[in-house]
Amino acid sequence: MTQNAEHVLDHFELFRGPEYQQMLANKKALFENPHDPAEVERIREWAKTPEYREKNFAREALTVNPAKACQPLGAVFVAVGFEGTLPFVHGSQGCVAYYRSHLSRHFKEPSSCVSSSMTEDAAVFGGLNNMIDGLANTYNMYKPKMIAVSTTCMAEVIGDDLNAFIKTAKEKGSVPNEYDVPFAHTPAFVGSHVTGYDNALKGILEHFWDGKAGTAPKLERKENDKINFIGGFDGYTVGNIREIKRIFELMGIEYTILADNSDVFDTPTDGEFRMYDGGTTLEDAANAIHAKATISMQQYCTEKTLPFIQGHGHEVAAFNHPVGVSATDDFLMTLSRISGKPIAKALEQERGRLVDAMADSSAHIHGKKFAIYGDPDLCYGLASFLLELGAEPTHVLSTNGNKHWAEKMEALFASSPFGKNCHAYPGKDLWHMRSLLFTEPVDFLIGNTYGKYLERDTGTPLIRIGFPVFDRHHHHRYPVWGYQGGMNVLVKILDKIFDEIDKNTNVPAKTDYSFDIIR
Amino acid sequence: MSLATTESVAEIKARNKQLIDEVLKVYPEKTAKRRAKHLNVHEAGKSDCGVKSNLKSIPGVMTIRGCAYAGSKGVVWGPIKDMIHISHGPVGCGQYSWAARRNYYIGTTGIDTFVTMQFTSDFQEKDIVFGGDKKLAKIIDEIQELFPLNHGITIQSECPIGLIGDDIEAVSKVKSKEYDGKTIVPVRCEGFRGVSQSLGHHIANDAVRDWIFDKVNPEAKPAFEPTPYDVAIIGDYNIGGDAWSSRILLEEMGLRVIAQWSGDGSLAELEATPKAKLNVLHCYRSMNYISRHMEEKFGIPWCEYNFFGPSKIAESLRKIASFFDDKIKEGAERVIAKYQPLMDAVIAKYRPRLEGKTVMLFVGGLRPRHVIGAYEDLGMEVVGTGYEFGHNDDYQRTAQHYVKDGTLIYDDVTGYEFERFVEKIQPDLVGSGIKEKYVFQKMGVPFRQMHSWDYSGPYHGYDGFAIFARDMDMAINSPIWKKTKAPWKDAPRPSLMAAE
């Protein structure tokens, strides 16, 4: 196989040619000091055993392939959900390059965010000057309506005080006195990106509701009929938030989506780059205090925000990334109860269609075993949907899930006959999952892009649901919430199941008797 | 659509100078003064590009740069495949850089090879308060137990490590002793050090010097019999297989490649490199330090080369051959001749589709100049370029060997500047990174990622050039760029400049 101008060979073909294969074999044998292949094989097999699993689960210090990121990522995710808002992360600049890349790789969209670019001198003297200059530059260059500040771990370790710094920067004229600069401390060594989401959202609401860090009177709540909606950190934010808006509109409920980043992560290609697009208006963010209730779709993304809101007199309700029939039922009934509006006929029909689809297909899912990993709420939502389908969510693992989450998961398992042999694994990583998949195999794995390594190593087919999904395109445009979202998840699962059956029945004259045209 | 082709050099220079003046207006005075030093219009005959570089980025401007950790773990150390690289500190750094750079390798991942894995100490608050040294020691024990075939360990420091006063060197020494002299390399690449990835490269190079070279027993029997034709590839990270499509050419001309730094590299290769007769250096920026060290300490000469595009490849093959005897010189000619028909066919196919097209680049420390020849082989013209983390010696090389009179130069460009420059110059293609890609595509400008090759590659060597040419054609001549304006909207103005 040699390169050819007419049919250009890509990396996946080129290096399989004999010239390259020979070259790579020589390199290995002569220069790489390789282990004896038999020894590599022995260790490879050993790493599949219960004995290895035991050692693996005995780990106390090392984390391998975790399924979580750090706080500021969640803070950036929240900030871009407000109209004309630029996230400003106080600390090292490399972090911001990482958040931007990470979000761009998932959404295939621009991701705008600035850093205060603290370096060694700032580590010694503190980052006040970086804040003063940084806010002035950001304000002048990018003309944001709001700058939402969070922190990297560097600024947290040296103890920079955002409240005082922002105040000083305003005194020095970096931005006008009345300009909105909400902030949140988001140390990377506490919690994960979902914690950062929580802190940042709380910081913004606190800013608008509780007197803008002492620079304005606190807002006085005058209850109205609106409902606030919080999505949480969500890789499907584009599709999900649009679906939620449709549901609210179908039911005739007045609503405010807080941190609505569904447009900024889905801007058109029409000749114009929109650094800002859509988002919760600052006015709506402030007026959200008057809402009668606030709903969070992800309990573990709003552990501080929701009590804060409740403290302002709202009724609050938290869900766990509801997917499927019952979880959506609960969500809609809560909406209906709070708003006093009946569940729309159109939604009833959609419910019926989802039940219809599940009835049509359940024979293919029933009794199948699944492993799931991801953020705590997503895991819960998917596991409950699988139980509805008669499937068994055998291993449910969340690196950023805590003990409380695990108890909640176990209660969910206990609520269904299909949950009998299922277990939750809080605080574990994907190397633990690898041992689980080898020692207690399942039929399918649900997780983000990194699950492809588990799929390769263990042969467990991967259904990509989660964040990030880097290696498949546009999934984030389709909702997983609401009955229609449930339909999308169902189809995704079914497609993989059928693809696997076909893949396993396609050897002519050997397995092809099951290669059916009708399933 | 390009303006450059219809304008004289004088006009282009005037336009570019005006553009610089315009973008500077947005900044507060102090910032404008600082940024002005990083922007310039290249004057032919000058020894450098007339810009300051390797200085601190300005807070709040949206620099494209990363950090020292990215330079060490992400670039230099991460690809060494048989060692385990611990991202030491909180979880994020390792997570965001996990398998993101496509450093291809051959090996059994998780067993004897570890490149596409994320090992982290996942610091919690208590580790910050009480220090992480004990945890690190335990991590090394756990690695030894669960990944027994690893050939060594590196500790890639994240920001907190240097701030809380951990002594990772002491832990490394103790653990190395405990495990029979195992290679354990502490790297002080905390993200706040320096001004960009660049210092991380330097720190990583120094760590190889101090913790690998200095520990190799010079009396030990070599793992292989040396030959007069032994060379090492330095500064190729094997993105999409770049080092492989380079290595094959060196071997075809009669040389023997004893080490790859660091794409598809191994600890044994690092250790063996002082036995090379010549170090051939692709990414000067990230690995000139260790090349200079080997020259001083072991007397190994080094030679920069450029394997982008047939013109530069031929020039480089001859330059490398000049260090050797006639056998190798003939070998270089043989290789050039062998691939000539392929190159002719590639150029015959793609040049007519790309002739006269203009490109603006903004990449890391090598490609803002190295790829210019490859574009020129296709009849294209680079009208603007700049380095994310280049130093003055990079701009000297750029000025003396690569860019044309009047080229717009932008060092550590800010998001705002880059956007304005592209909007006004309207190049046919922008080549930069993931953070820039979608910005320009939204504007309707074709784009290729020039760090990751947009998940394609290799682009190095003759085999790579065919892919490069195909990809540039695919980007520029994609029918989608004709659809960005709805047909019921007004046609775009033919020239933004003229409209002003």
Per-residue pLDDT tens over the stretch B89-136: 999 999 999 999 999 999 999 999 999 999 999 999 999 999 999 999
Closest CA to B244 of B265, B272, B275: B265
Instruction: Write the burial class of residue B108 (CB in 10 Å: 0-12 exposed, 13-18 middle, 19+ buried).
Output: middle
Tens of pLDDT, residues A141-156:
999 999 999 999 999 9
Are the CB atoms for B74 and B127 separated by under 8 Å? Answer: no
What's residue B25's pLDDT?
98
Q: Is residue B244 less than 8 Å (CB to CB) from chain A?
A: yes
Tokens 């492809």 map to which residue? A452
Catalytic pick among A89, A153, A181, A422: A153
Q: Using a pLDDT cut of 90, give the percent of chain A over it.
A: 100
- Cα–Cα distances in angstroms (integers) from residue A205 to residues A176, A211, A280, A294, in the given order: 20, 10, 12, 12
Residue B401 has pLDDT above 80, yes or no: yes
Asked if residue B268 is part of any domain, the answer here is yes
Contacts of A36 (CB under 8 A, 6+ apart): none
Q: Determine the average pLDDT of the residues in B320-332.
A: 98
B92, B104, B224 member nearest A73 (Cβ): B92
Residues B55 and B71 in one domain: no
Tens of pLDDT, residues B12-46:
999 999 999 999 999 999 999 999 999 999 999 99
Q: How far is B89 from chain A (nearest CA, A)?
A: 8
CB contact (8 A) between residue A62 and residue B191: no
What's residue A30's pLDDT?
97
Tens of pLDDT, residues A371-422:
999 999 999 999 999 999 999 999 999 999 999 999 999 999 999 999 999 9
Residue B494 has pLDDT above 80, yes or no: no
CB contact (8 A) between residue A273 and residue B439: yes
Give the integer Cα–Cα distance in Å for A148 and A200: 8
B111, B135, B240 member nearest A61 (Cβ): B135
Q: Return the CATH number at B271.
A: 3.40.50.1980
Asked if residue B487 is part of any domain, the answer here is no
CB < 8 Å to B346, chain A: 5
Catalytic pick among B4, B70, B283, B399: B70
Give the integer Cα–Cα distance in Å for B126 and B138: 15
CA angle A322, A326, A328 (to 5 degrees): 45
Q: Using a pLDDT cut of 70, give the percent of chain B over it.
A: 97
Is residue A469 among the annotated active site residues? no
CB contact (8 A) between residue B65 and residue A93: yes
Residues B201 and B259 in one domain: no
Residue A196 has pLDDT above 70, yes or no: yes
CA A299 to chain centre: 13
- What is the DSSP secondary structure assignment for residue B317, as one 8-state letter? H
Q: Where are the beta strands (DSSP E) in A374-438?
A: 392-398, 423-426
Q: Is residue B24 less than 8 Å (CB to CB) from chain A?
A: no
| Band of pLDDT at residue B4, cut at 50, 70 and 90 | very low
Q: Is residue B87 less than 8 Å (CB to CB) from chain A?
A: no
Is residue A153 among the annotated active site residues? yes
Helix ranges, B355-490 (H): 367-370, 372-377, 392-401, 415-425, 434-442, 461-476
- Boundary residue ending a domain (B343, B377, B393): B343
Catalytic pick among B101, B102, B151, B460: B101
What's residue B180's pLDDT?
97
What's residue B305's pLDDT?
98
Closest CA to B54 of B68, B33, B42: B68
Q: How far is A269 from chain B (nearest CA, A)?
A: 4
Asked if residue B474 is part of any domain, the answer here is no
Q: Is residue B457 less than 8 Å (CB to CB) from chain A?
A: yes
CB contact (8 A) between residue B95 and residue A158: no
| Band of pLDDT at residue B1, cut at 50, 70 and 90 | very low
CB < 8 Å to B158, chain A: 153
Residue A146 tokens read as 């709001």
B31, B143, B457 member nearest A11 (Cβ): B457
Q: Over A354-369, what HEC string results? A: HHHHHHHHHHHHCCCE
Q: What one-character-per-residue DSSP string does B39-73 give?
A: EEE--TT-SS-S---S-PPPTTS-B----HHIIII
Residues B207 and B71 in one domain: yes
What's residue B78's pLDDT?
98
CB contact (8 A) between residue A137 and residue B27: yes
| Band of pLDDT at residue A107, cut at 50, 70 and 90 | very high
Among B residues 66-85, those touching chain A with beta carbons less than 8 Å apart:
66-70, 82
For an interface test with B, the pick among A2, A32, A181 (most B C-beta atoms closer than 10 Å) comes out as A32
**Residue B496 carries which side chain, given as an amino acid letter?**
L
Q: Is residue B139 less than 8 Å (CB to CB) from chain A?
A: yes
Residues B249 and B203 in one domain: no
Domain residues for the domain of B262 are 228-343
What's residue A282's pLDDT?
98
CB contact (8 A) between residue A47 and residue B123: no
Strand (E) or helix (H) holding A446: strand A444-447
Q: Strand, coil or helix: what is B262?
A: strand
Q: What is the mean pLDDT of chain B?
A: 96
Asked if residue B200 is part of any domain, the answer here is yes
What's residue A475's pLDDT?
97
- Boundary residue ending a domain (B320, B343, B366): B343
| Band of pLDDT at residue B491, cut at 50, 70 and 90 | low
- Boundary residue ending a domain (B302, B323, B343): B343
- Cα–Cα distances in angstroms (integers) from residue B480 to residues A72, A104, B441, in the given order: 35, 20, 10
Asked if residue B434 is part of any domain, the answer here is yes
Across-strand partners of B257?
Answer: B231
Are the CB atoms for B107 and A29 separated by under 8 Å? Answer: no
Helix ranges, A210-322 (H): 237-251, 282-287, 305-310
What's residue B221's pLDDT?
80
Residue B63 has pLDDT above 70, yes or no: yes
Is residue B67 among the annotated active site residues? yes
Residues B114 and B174 in one domain: yes
Tens of pLDDT, residues B420-479:
999 999 999 999 999 999 999 999 999 999 999 999 999 999 999 999 999 999 999 999
Closest CA to B39 of B412, B436, B423, B370: B412
Q: Strand, coil or helix: what is B363?
A: strand
H helix count then E strand count, chain A = 21, 13
Is the pTM higher than 0.95? The answer reads yes
Closest CA to A365 of A519, A514, A469: A519
For an interface test with A, the pick among B134, B159, B201, B335 (most A C-beta atoms closer than 10 Å) comes out as B159
Residues B77 and B49 in one domain: no
Q: Is residue B92 less than 8 Å (CB to CB) from chain A?
A: yes
Residue B218 has pLDDT above 90, yes or no: no
Give the integer Cα–Cα distance in Å for A258 and A289: 11
Closest CA to B90 of B118, B61, B50, B57: B118
- Is the ipTM of this structure higher than 0.90? yes
CB < 8 Å to A375, chain B: none
Please tell me the total count of domains within chain B. Answer: 3
Residue A428 tokens read as 């574990």
Asked if residue B480 is part of any domain, the answer here is no
Residues B163 and B236 in one domain: no
Instruction: Write the burial class of residue A349 (CB in 10 Å: 0-12 exposed, 13-18 middle, 19+ buried).
Output: exposed
Q: How far is B300 from chain A (nearest CA, A)?
A: 19
What's residue B386's pLDDT?
98
What's residue A279's pLDDT?
98
Q: Is residue B340 less than 8 Å (CB to CB) from chain A?
A: no
Q: Using a pLDDT cut of 90, give the percent of chain B over it.
A: 94
Q: Which residues of A7-46 are buried (b: 16+ CB within 10 A; e: fewer)?
A: ebbbbeebbebeebeebbeebeebbbebbeeeebeebeee
Q: How many CB atoms lie within 10 A of CB B96?
A: 27
Residues B154 and B232 in one domain: no
Residues B317 and B205 in one domain: no
Q: Is residue B166 less than 8 Å (CB to CB) from chain A?
A: no
Tokens 């983000």 map to which residue? A448
Q: Determine the average pLDDT of the residues in B174-198.
A: 98
Contacts of A363 (CB under 8 A, 6+ apart): none
Q: How far is A397 from chain B (nearest CA, A)?
A: 17
Residues B49 and B123 in one domain: no
Catalytic pick among B4, B38, B65, B67: B67
Q: What is the mean pLDDT of chain A?
A: 98
Are the CB atoms for A476 and A237 separated by under 8 Å? Answer: yes
Give the integer Cα–Cα distance in Å for A44 and A38: 10
CB contact (8 A) between residue B28 and residue A123: no
Contacts of A174 (CB under 8 A, 6+ apart): A131, A132, A133, A134, A135, A136, A139
CB contact (8 A) between residue A270 and residue B485: yes
Q: Is residue B462 less than 8 Å (CB to CB) from chain A?
A: yes
Residues B321 and B420 in one domain: no
Instruction: Write the burial class of residue B19 (CB in 10 Å: 0-12 exposed, 13-18 middle, 19+ buried).
Output: buried
Q: Strand, coil or helix: what is A279?
A: coil
Q: What one-character-per-residue DSSP string does A227-238 give?
A: EEEE--S-TTHH
Residues B235 and B177 in one domain: no
Give the integer Cα–Cα distance in Å for B341 and A467: 46
What's residue B492's pLDDT?
55
Residue B493 has pLDDT above 70, yes or no: no
Instruction: Write the burial class of residue A416 (CB in 10 Å: 0-12 exposed, 13-18 middle, 19+ buried).
Output: middle
Closest CA to B428 of B337, B368, B360, B488: B360
Strand (E) or helix (H) holding B152: strand B152-157
What's residue A2's pLDDT?
87
Q: Is residue B474 less than 8 Å (CB to CB) from chain A?
A: no
Residue B318 has pLDDT above 80, yes or no: yes
Residue B499 has pLDDT above 50, yes or no: no
Residue B386 tokens read as 């700049």
For an interface test with B, the pick among A1, A43, A95, A438 (most B C-beta atoms closer than 10 Å) comes out as A95
Beta strand B429-432 with B358-361 is: parallel
Asked if residue B464 is part of any domain, the answer here is no
Give the distance between the most distant pair of CA atoms in chain B: 78
A64, A105, A141 member nearest B61 (Cβ): A141
CB contact (8 A) between residue A154 and residue B463: no
Residue B3 has pLDDT above 80, yes or no: no
CB contact (8 A) between residue B248 and residue A23: yes
Q: How far is A271 from chain B (nearest CA, A)?
A: 4
A73, A120, A453 member nearest B116 (Cβ): A453
Tokens 């109205």 map to which residue? A224
Contacts of A516 (CB under 8 A, 6+ apart): A505
Query: Which residue in B has a C-alpha nearest to residue A110's C-alpha?
Result: B438
| Band of pLDDT at residue A300, cut at 50, 70 and 90 | very high
Q: Determine the average pLDDT of the residues in A325-334.
A: 98
Q: How far is B71 from chain A (nearest CA, A)?
A: 10
Asked if residue B465 is part of any domain, the answer here is no
CB < 8 Å to B349, chain A: 5-6
